């Protein structure tokens, strides 16, 4: 059995390794699923934000977290004219009066975060005119005003200052509140029941049409919630997985492999080659990585691939070289390498085929634990505002949360979700790495 | 000679826990050592000879199970002695150890003179000055010039280092010195010189030696008695006279025939096959698989059969009636 | 496997001939200041014919391993000359050096260390073939199988996929020997090939080397510290001391009638197993082997020699003097 396979067989006896592998497998599965389900261009498009998110609430927490804490925060409810019945009440002289009732069954005792009516009119010259009235389950009717509708219209009912002063409180509260004198309750409660938005539309053309959609925004949304731009955090958190794994893995592979080969070459050739590598390492070791990255990001580009390149280049002549050198030095005198020289193996062959593979097993644990450090580095850069401009990543979610003072506003989910994913990544690789260390590092192996 | 034995080992068993299972490194070893006697424990690598020495000195690695059996020193059981009492009453006071790799036995940053004096200060409670004086004597005894006391281990040649380790073992005047392959890493001339020192010490001091070696020629340099080990057992225990001139166990005979000699026209004969795994040793005689003289009974484990004065052989060929009951 | 036909070497010329061969290592301080040199090999004359097995015997630090490495082309000689099949070693470069390496097989002391721990037997044996461009794969596998069979590891399928730690010491050394043979060399250099093996396995390995050497008419240079392992396995013995060959003789002559005091001392320090050994001390010359960085003037053994003649041995270097058929000793006593 090869030493590798033997090691892996031994690995199975460490529960932490199994757990770590399970976490990593779950992350990889998520990454693969994400890349297939939301292709890269689509992800970019989604993260750019805009209208596609208009029916999602702002800064809504995840549903499950609210339910878990015993809350009953409302979800978003919609009612569309497509599903509602439109009654043509009168038609004369080319002018029609249509009546549409958009009804929502509101089951919550907490209030919605916003109420918005989206209107879309189809006409040739004369814009339709719409009058809006609100009917509560008790039958009270509150007029919401009237307006002409352009091709696209948006009525922010909850932002209506006039309505607010008439109701004596924010419209989304006033419209859903239990009947009673305004402002007397300590904590007003919403009255569950059927609410109706009555639209009376006056069309001035025979073919003119109006589509309407009432959105009663909830306070919670989906599995992961939304951010300040109504974007579903799931997009960023899902896409953050392949980005984080790819960045961590590529950076770890890039630095480890090149560092190892350079260290081996230094040890093998010795003399000035070794001296040069040592001095370069010593200089590089005192160069601060983060400020250099900040500089590159600020002055040049914050593309994630450029950052990766800089991280790898600066990681080559790192402290690792000293460690690998110490491990490789005894190999210079190893019998099998002397034998390889004696049968004529070339210097590159000795370095790549005889020296490097010898210490790979010992390196594997370090390599595995190195991956999350690069994941964290990428996240740190994003938090500092040096994240890739187009890619959604965990770090950027954190950055947005921080920029919007998420914690101050009590949006804990916004910070905790990416943090938990980062921690999970770190935990998975660390658990696997430490178990690998016990398996492959002979000095730690206790019998 | 009917003197009571100084050291008596009876049915000693020792096992290690390894990843592949339990290795029974020492499996029922019996041995006696009298005062001023040198017994050589001879055997190939993996036969359990070093484990035996480690069990005697209690320097076993952590994966070893507690040894079973009896070890008596002057009639007193020492195997069950609590660690602290063993350290104070036995180790280095009664039994001292000379290890194989002399460089590892010495602390590289302490002058050798101080290291040799160290056991005296620990075990005999000597003052610094007394200890230094005794260390100088010990150096003279093993043939190291006195000015070497002030040197560091790396300034000494391999032979000198081995002598220093020997001095360290002798300085507390133990009854028994256990030597684990003391010369196997040394050159021919150095080896001979160290064996000369051992012979002299044995003659002048009346010390008993337990010498552990794989080298038949070296073993004959000092042995009064030889215990030949094979796969965790002593297969033959005999006087040197009997062992080197008329070995009784087939393995002893074949081992003697496999030794390359300087002055012998016939070429040595290798022993075909390999020793059995100590993970699952064979149920019967452990040498049977390689033995040209095996017969039916060899599938049963042979006991150590007496074959004259202090001569025991673990082979059915020497049972009365040719081994057939 | 069939040995290559001898080429280049003129008839009657030895396969390997060294004259006054020197390998000195410079001692430097701070990487550039020369502070002296270690004369590991310091004027060695030796010849080795095709099909001849010779032993180089000496203690550690006598320069025997440096001699082996110089002959393997791992160290460049710093003086004198060594010719293999008529070609001077010191001038081999590039392809010629690589070709030379295929013609010399190397067997090391520690068989476990000599095999890459991460390669199975097949891979370890395939390496020299790949390095020397033996193709296709089927041809390589055929040669690996043949080599394994040659060293007694048949059927090859049993060891083929094993890793060094799964083999016994004897098996490991057989694999190392197979690797040394796989490029069909003309000469095998074996540096202490049995000193790390168990007594019963030593004889097997020595027999194997001897059989292969005879069957393929290979030259064998067997480097050892143990004089008791030269009889039966070599034809000639060269005794090395302080970087030089002090005595050369047919094996029987050396063991029975050593002429140099150092060879005599070596023999006297050794014994065949005998209970009488325990009752007598062995004569051992005092002192330690000379430092190769500062060897004594004159004969290098004179400070330890019981017969040293003041005014001669401590001043003049003794040349190799003929003392019998194929027997020379570098000692003024034989002048």
C282 touches chain B (CB under 8 A): yes
In a domain, B261, yes or no: yes
Residues of chain C with pLDDT under 70: 1-12, 29-32
Residues B144 and B264 in one domain: no
Residue A121's CATH number: 2.60.120
Can you tell me the distance from the alpha carbon of C19 to that of C84, in angstroms, rounded to the nearest whole number? 12
Report which of A132, A82, A108, A69 is spatially closest to residue A217, judged by C-alpha positions: A108
Residues B253 and B163 in one domain: no
Instruction: Report residue A324 as tokens.
Output: 């690998």
Contacts of C223 in chain B (CB under 8 A): none
In a domain, A113, yes or no: yes
Contact at CB, A345 and C113, closer than 8 angstroms:
no
pLDDT in tens, A17-29: 999 999 999 999 9
SS3 letters for C172-194?
Answer: HHHHHHHHHHCCCCCEEEEECCC
Residues B129 and B157 in one domain: yes
Share above pLDDT 90 across residues of chain A, in percent, rounded to a whole number: 38
- Before A373, cis peptide (omega within 30)? no
Q: What is the reported pLDDT for C4? A: 46
Residues A398 and A428 in one domain: yes
Closest CA–CA distance from residue C73 to any residue of chain A (Å): 7
Q: What is the reported pLDDT for C2? A: 42
In a domain, A176, yes or no: yes
CA atoms within 13 A on the CB side of B263: 11
Q: What is the reported pLDDT for C198? A: 82
Instruction: Report residue A390 as tokens.
Output: 């187009």
Whether the pLDDT of residue B81 is over 70: the answer is yes
Can you tell me the distance from the alpha carbon of B10 to that of B8, in angstroms, rounded to the nearest whole number? 6
Contact at CB, A344 and C101, closer than 8 angstroms:
yes
Residue B125 CB burial class (10 angstroms; 0-12, 13-18, ≥19): exposed
Nearest chain C alpha carbon to B37: C278
Contact at CB, B223 and C60, closer than 8 angstroms:
no
Q: What is the reported pLDDT for C141? A: 93
Q: What is the reported pLDDT for B309? A: 84
A446 touches chain B (CB under 8 A): yes
**Per-residue pLDDT band at A48 (split at 50, 70, 90):** confident
Nearest chain C alpha carbon to A359: C118
Q: Where do the structural domains in chain C lie, given as residue ranges?
A: 16-334
Residues A154 and A90 in one domain: yes
Whether the pLDDT of residue A295 is over 60: the answer is yes
Closest CA–CA distance from residue B127 to any residue of chain C (Å): 34
Q: What is the reported pLDDT for C101? A: 92
Mean pLDDT of chain A: 88
List, in order, residues 6 or more apart from B217 with CB less than 8 Å away.
B259, C228, C270, C271, C272, C273, C277
B62 touches chain A (CB under 8 A): yes
In a domain, A445, yes or no: no
Nearest chain C alpha carbon to A330: C113
SS3 call for C291: coil
Contact at CB, C198 and B199, closer than 8 angstroms:
no
Contact at CB, B217 and C201, closer than 8 angstroms:
no
∠ CA(C319), CA(C320), CA(C322), 5° rounding?
Answer: 130
Q: What is the reported pLDDT for C255? A: 92
Nearest chain A alpha carbon to B22: A447
Residues A255 and A210 in one domain: no
Nearest chain A alpha carbon to C183: A343
Nearest CB to C118 within list A341, A344, A358: A358
Whether the pLDDT of residue A108 is over 60: the answer is yes
B215 touches chain C (CB under 8 A): yes
Whether the pLDDT of residue A180 is over 70: the answer is no
Residues B229 and B305 in one domain: yes
Residue, of A309 and A51, whose pLDDT is higher? A309
Closest CA–CA distance from residue B219 to any residue of chain C (Å): 8
Last residue of a domain, one of A186, A217, A248: A217
Report which of C74, C70, C208 is spatially closest to residue A339, judged by C-alpha positions: C74
Nearest chain A alpha carbon to C131: A345
In a domain, A378, yes or no: yes
Residues A34 and A86 in one domain: no
Residue B261's CATH number: 3.40.50.300
Can you tell me the distance from the alpha carbon of A155 to that of A158, in angstroms, rounded to the nearest whole number? 9
Residues B50 and B143 in one domain: no
SS3 call for A387: coil
Q: What is the reported pLDDT for C10? A: 55
Mean pLDDT of chain B: 87
Contacts of A447 in chain B (CB under 8 A): 17-19, 61-63
Closest CA–CA distance from residue C256 to any residue of chain B (Å): 8
Closest CA–CA distance from residue B158 to any residue of chain A (Å): 21
Contacts of B260 in chain C (CB under 8 A): 202-203, 206, 226, 228-229, 231-232
Residues A311 and A189 in one domain: no
Closest CA–CA distance from residue A344 to any residue of chain C (Å): 5
pLDDT in tens, B188-240: 888 899 999 999 999 888 899 999 998 888 889 999 999 999 999 999 999 99
Can you tell me the distance from the alpha carbon of B308 to that of C70, in angstroms, rounded to the nearest whole number? 57
In this structure, what are the phi and psi dihedrals at residue C8, rounded to the nearest 5 degrees?
Answer: 60, -55
Closest CA–CA distance from residue C135 to any residue of chain A (Å): 16
pLDDT in tens, A135-165: 999 888 999 888 888 888 888 998 888 888 8
Q: What is the reported pLDDT for A182? A: 55
- Subunits next to B (3 or more Cβ pairs <8 Å) are A, C
ipTM, two decimals, is 0.88
- Tokens 């063991």 correspond to C255
Strands B312-313 and C16-29: unpaired
Residues B112 and B61 in one domain: no
Contact at CB, B62 and A446, closer than 8 angstroms:
yes
Q: Best interface-test mutation with C: which of B192, B242, B258, B272 has the largest number of C CBs within 10 A?
A: B192
B148 touches chain C (CB under 8 A): no
In a domain, A372, yes or no: yes
Residue B300 CB neighbour total at 10 angstroms: 13
Whether the pLDDT of residue B101 is over 70: the answer is no
Last residue of a domain, one of A217, A251, A273: A217
Contact at CB, C74 and A2, closer than 8 angstroms:
no
Contact at CB, C118 and A338, closer than 8 angstroms:
no
Residues A169 and A290 in one domain: no
- Range(s) of the domain holding residue A26: 3-45+232-440
pLDDT in tens, A339-381: 999 999 999 999 999 999 888 888 888 899 999 999 999 899 8
Q: Best interface-test mutation with A: which of C89, C110, C113 has the largest number of A CBs within 10 A?
A: C113
Whether the pLDDT of residue B313 is over 90: the answer is yes
C231 touches chain B (CB under 8 A): yes
Residues A263 and A179 in one domain: no
A1 touches chain B (CB under 8 A): no
Can you tell me the distance from the alpha carbon of B15 to that of A444, in angstroms, rounded to the nearest whole number? 22
Nearest CB to B224 within list C200, C232, C278: C278
Last residue of a domain, one of B123, B149, B173: B173
Residue A299's CATH number: 1.10.3720
Q: What is the reported pLDDT for B324? A: 44
Contacts of C59 in chain B (CB under 8 A): 187-190
B63 touches chain A (CB under 8 A): yes
Between chain A and chain B, the number of residue pairs with CB atoms below 8 A apart is 8
Closest CA–CA distance from residue B197 to any residue of chain C (Å): 9
Closest CA–CA distance from residue A312 to any residue of chain C (Å): 28
Closest CA–CA distance from residue C100 to any residue of chain A (Å): 9
Can you tell me the distance from the alpha carbon of B286 to that of B256, in angstroms, rounded to the nearest whole number? 18
Q: Are C327 and C259 in contact, with CB atoms under 8 Å apart?
A: yes
Contacts of A446 in chain B (CB under 8 A): 62
Nearest CB to B18 within list A10, A446, A447: A447
Q: Best interface-test mutation with A: which of B19, B23, B61, B64 has the largest number of A CBs within 10 A?
A: B19
In a domain, B1, yes or no: no
Closest CA–CA distance from residue A226 to any residue of chain B (Å): 53
A191 touches chain B (CB under 8 A): no
Last residue of a domain, one of A169, A187, A217: A217
Can you tell me the distance from the alpha carbon of C295 to that of C290, in angstroms, rounded to the nearest whole number? 6
Residues B105 and B86 in one domain: no
Residues B48 and B114 in one domain: no
Number of domains in chain A: 2
Last residue of a domain, one of B173, B196, B212: B173
pLDDT in tens, B238-266: 999 999 999 999 999 999 999 888 888 88
Contact at CB, A10 and B62, closer than 8 angstroms:
no
Last residue of a domain, one of B129, B150, B173: B173
Contact at CB, B260 and C266, closer than 8 angstroms:
no
Give kind and range of the element (H or E) at residue A96: strand A95-106
Q: What is the reported pLDDT for C1? A: 43
Closest CA–CA distance from residue C193 to any residue of chain A (Å): 12
Contact at CB, C115 and A349, closer than 8 angstroms:
no
CA atoms within 13 A on the CB side of C14: 17
Contact at CB, C284 and B270, closer than 8 angstroms:
no
A330 touches chain C (CB under 8 A): no
- Range(s) of the domain holding residue B149: 101-173
Q: What is the reported pLDDT for C6? A: 43
∠ CA(C188), CA(C189), CA(C194), 5° rounding?
Answer: 105
Q: What is the reported pLDDT for C26? A: 83
Q: What is the reported pLDDT for A437? A: 86
Contact at CB, B19 and A10, closer than 8 angstroms:
yes
Residues B135 and B46 in one domain: no
- Subunits next to A (3 or more Cβ pairs <8 Å) are B, C
Number of domains in chain B: 2
Residues A308 and A426 in one domain: yes
Residues B194 and B274 in one domain: yes
In a domain, A31, yes or no: yes
Q: Kindly state which CATH superfamily the domain C16-334 is placed in.
A: P-loop containing nucleotide triphosphate hydrolases (3.40.50.300)
Report which of C292, C316, C334 is spatially closest to residue C58, judged by C-alpha positions: C292
């Amino acid at each position: 059995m090869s030493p590798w396979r033997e090691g892996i067989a031994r690995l199975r006896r460490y529960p932490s390794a199994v757990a770590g592998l399970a976490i990593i497998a779950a992350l990889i599965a998520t990454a693969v699923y994400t890349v297939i389900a939301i292709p890269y261009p689509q992800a970019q498009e989604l993260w750019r934000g805009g209208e596609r998110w208009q029916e999602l609430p702002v800064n809504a927490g995840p549903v499950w977290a609210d339910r878990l804490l015993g809350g009953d925060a409302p979800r978003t409810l919609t009612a569309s004219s497509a599903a509602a019945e439109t009654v043509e009440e009168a038609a004369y002289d080319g002018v029609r009066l249509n009546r549409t009732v958009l009804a929502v069954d509101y089951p919550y005792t907490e209030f919605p975060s916003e109420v918005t009516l989206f209107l879309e009119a189809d006409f040739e010259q004369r814009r339709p005119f719409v009058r809006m009235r609100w009917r509560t389950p008790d039958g009270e009717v509150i007029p919401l005003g009237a307006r002409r509708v352009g091709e696209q219209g948006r009525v922010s009912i909850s932002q209506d200052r006039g309505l607010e002063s008439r109701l004596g409180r924010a419209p989304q509260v006033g419209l859903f509140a239990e009947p009673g004198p305004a402002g007397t309750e300590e904590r007003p409660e919403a009255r569950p029941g059927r609410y109706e938005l009555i639209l009376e539309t006056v069309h001035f053309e025979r073919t003119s049409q109006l589509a309407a959609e009432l959105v009663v925004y909830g306070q919670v949304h989906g599995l992961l919630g939304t951010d300040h731009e109504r974007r579903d955090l799931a997009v960023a958190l899902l896409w953050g997985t392949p980005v984080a794994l790819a960045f961590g893995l590529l950076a770890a592979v890039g630095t480890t492999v090149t560092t190892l080969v350079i260290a081996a070459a230094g040890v093998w050739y010795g003399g000035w080659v070794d001296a040069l590598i040592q001095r370069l390492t010593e200089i590089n070791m005192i160069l601060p990585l983060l400020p250099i990255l900040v500089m590159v990001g600020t002055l040049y580009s914050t593309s994630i691939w450029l950052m990766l390149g800089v991280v790898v280049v600066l990681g080559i002549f790192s402290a690792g070289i000293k460690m690998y050198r110490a491990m490789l030095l005894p190999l210079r005198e190893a019998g099998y390498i002397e034998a390889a020289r004696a049968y004529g193996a070339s210097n590159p062959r000795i370095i790549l085929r005889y020296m490097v593979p010898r210490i790979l097993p010992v390196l594997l644990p370090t390599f595995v634990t190195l991956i999350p450090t690069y994941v964290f580095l990428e996240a740190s850069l994003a938090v500092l505002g040096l994240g890739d401009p187009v890619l959604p990543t965990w770090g950027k979610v954190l950055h947005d949360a921080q920029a919007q003072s998420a914690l101050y506003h009590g949006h804990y989910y916004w910070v905790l979700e990416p943090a938990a994913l980062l921690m999970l990544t770190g935990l998975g690789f660390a658990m696997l790495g430490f178990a690998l260390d016990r398996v492959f590092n002979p000095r730690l192996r206790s019998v | 000679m009917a003197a009571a034995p100084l050291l008596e080992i009876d049915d000693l068993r020792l096992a290690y826990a390894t990843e592949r299972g339990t290795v029974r490194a020492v499996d029922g070893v019996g041995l006696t050592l009298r005062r001023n006697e040198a017994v050589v424990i001879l055997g190939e690598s993996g036969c359990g000879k070093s484990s035996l020495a480690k069990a005697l000195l209690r320097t076993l690695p952590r994966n070893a199970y507690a040894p079973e059996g009896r070890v008596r020193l002057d009639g007193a059981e020492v195997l069950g002695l609590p660690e602290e009492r063993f350290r104070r009453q036995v180790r280095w006071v009664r039994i001292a150890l000379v290890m194989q790799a002399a460089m590892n036995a010495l602390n590289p940053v302490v002058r050798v003179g101080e290291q040799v004096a160290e056991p005296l200060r620990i075990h005999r409670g000597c003052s610094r000055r007394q200890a230094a004086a005794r260390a100088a004597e010990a150096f003279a005894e093993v043939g190291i010039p006195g000015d070497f006391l002030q040197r560091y281990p790396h300034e000494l040649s391999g032979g000198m280092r081995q002598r220093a380790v020997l001095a360290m073992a002798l300085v507390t005047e133990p009854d028994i010195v256990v030597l684990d392959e003391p010369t196997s890493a040394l050159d021919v001339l150095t080896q001979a010189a160290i064996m000369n020192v051992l012979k002299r010490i044995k003659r002048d001091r009346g010390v008993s030696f337990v010498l552990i070696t794989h080298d038949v020629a070296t073993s004959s340099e000092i042995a009064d008695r030889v215990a030949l080990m094979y796969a965790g057992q002593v297969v033959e225990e005999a006087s040197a006279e009997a062992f080197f001139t008329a070995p009784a166990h087939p393995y002893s005979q074949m081992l003697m025939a496999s030794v390359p000699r300087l002055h012998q026209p016939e070429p040595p004969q290798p022993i075909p096959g390999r020793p059995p795994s100590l993970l699952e040793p064979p149920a019967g005689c452990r040498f049977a698989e390689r033995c040209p003289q095996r017969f039916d009974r060899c599938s049963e484990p042979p006991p150590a059969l007496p074959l004259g004065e202090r001569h025991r052989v673990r082979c059915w060929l020497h049972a009365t009636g040719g081994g057939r009951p | 496997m069939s040995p290559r036909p001898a080429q280049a070497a003129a008839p009657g010329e030895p396969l390997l001939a060294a004259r006054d061969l020197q390998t000195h290592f410079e001692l430097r301080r701070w990487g550039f200041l020369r502070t002296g040199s270690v004369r590991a090999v310091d004027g060695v004359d030796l010849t080795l014919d095709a099909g001849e097995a010779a032993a180089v015997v000496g203690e550690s630090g006598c320069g025997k391993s440096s001699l082996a490495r110089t002959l393997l082309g791992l160290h460049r000689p710093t003086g004198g000359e060594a010719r293999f099949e008529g070609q001077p070693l010191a001038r081999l470069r590039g392809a010629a050096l690589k070709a030379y390496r295929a013609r010399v097989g190397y067997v090391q002391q520690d068989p476990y260390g000599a095999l890459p721990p991460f390669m199975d037997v097949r891979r370890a044996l395939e390496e020299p073939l790949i390095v020397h461009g033996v193709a296709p794969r089927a041809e390589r596998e055929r040669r690996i199988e043949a080599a394994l069979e040659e060293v007694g590891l048949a059927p090859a399928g049993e060891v083929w996929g094993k890793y060094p730690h799964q083999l016994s010491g004897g098996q490991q050394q057989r694999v190392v020997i197979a690797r040394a043979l796989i490029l069909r060399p003309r000469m095998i250099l074996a540096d202490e090939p049995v000193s790390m093996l168990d007594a019963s396995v030593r004889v097997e390995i020595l027999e194997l080397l001897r059989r292969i050497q005879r069957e393929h008419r290979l030259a064998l240079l067997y480097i050892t510290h143990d004089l008791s392992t030269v009889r039966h396995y070599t034809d000639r013995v060269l005794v090395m001391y302080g970087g030089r060959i002090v005595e050369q003789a047919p094996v029987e002559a050396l063991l029975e009638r050593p002429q140099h005091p150092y060879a005599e001392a070596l023999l006297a320090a050794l014994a065949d197993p005998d209970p009488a050994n325990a009752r007598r001390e062995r004569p051992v010359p005092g002192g330690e082997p000379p430092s190769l960085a500062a060897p004594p003037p004159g004969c290098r053994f004179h400070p330890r020699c019981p017969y040293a003649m003041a005014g001669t041995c401590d001043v003049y270097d003794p040349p190799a003097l003929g003392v019998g058929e194929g027997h020379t000793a570098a000692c003024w006593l034989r002048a």
